[in-house]
Amino acid sequence: MKTCVIFGAAEFDALVAPVTEQDLVIAADGGVTHVEKLGIQPDVILGDFDSLGYVPQGARVYPVEKDDTDSMLAVRLGLEAGCKRFLLYGALDGPRLDHTVANMQTLLYLANHGAKGFLIGRNQMITTIREETVVFPKEFTGIFSLFCMGEAARGITLRNLKYALEDGELDSGFPLGVSNHFIGEEASVTVKTGTLLAIYEAENGLLPEDWVC
């Protein structure tokens, strides 16, 4: 599965997976500071550079007034390159809540285009579960929350979590899925229709690539 690694301007503690030569690495605007600190050479640097404050050499420059965020520009480029897994570092914990919400919507955009994305912050990670069964390793610990994205998600079954659910429903009008917990067993989430945002602690790391059943 070809991976696109995108560095945004917000903070994160560490890489959750090694960056390989096969990955498409994109530094979006202020994400340039992260790749410089990590000693990573990005394949592409892009953005309007309003947060970075200068234009790096060789960058793709876009106007400040545009429809796409810098993260969305990077995601579109990754999709065009055939990537199916997206790791977005610095996509949470920034000073602007609107950009955080935009990044969550970007995960839904990826799901709508047959790809899987992860937002990686200092303490938490976010991904989507869309009309599939996802298995979480028994080693995962801490809080695990689920939120509906878009229209109601139905046929939701939660196994081996503190709060179980059988063929239930979540909608965007009530936060029923907040503050569940891993319990030291292999857990699973099934969604028959719709999309859920799944939020868990970043120290758990990425899900295995065979996490979808």
User: Global pTM?
Assistant: 0.92
Query: Per-residue pLDDT tens for 140-169?
Result: 999 999 999 988 999 999 999 999 999 999
Superfamily of domain 128-203: Thiamin pyrophosphokinase, thiamin-binding domain (2.60.120.320)
Residue 80: pLDDT over 70: yes
Give yes or no on whether 3-122 and 128-203 have one common fold: no
What residues pair up with 191 in beta bridges, in sequence order?
A: none
Q: For the domain with range 3-122, which CATH number is right: 3.30.980.20, 3.40.1280.10, 3.40.50.300, 3.40.50.10240?
A: 3.40.50.10240
Give pLDDT, residue 212. Answer: 65
Query: Per-residue pLDDT tens for 43-56?
Result: 999 988 877 788 88
**What is the Cα–Cα distance from 14 to 68, expressed in whole angstroms?**
27
Residue whose C-alpha is closest to residue 87's, from 209, 212, 193: 209
126 touches 199 (CB < 8 A): yes
Domain map (residue ranges) of the chain: 3-122, 128-203
141 touches 187 (CB < 8 A): no
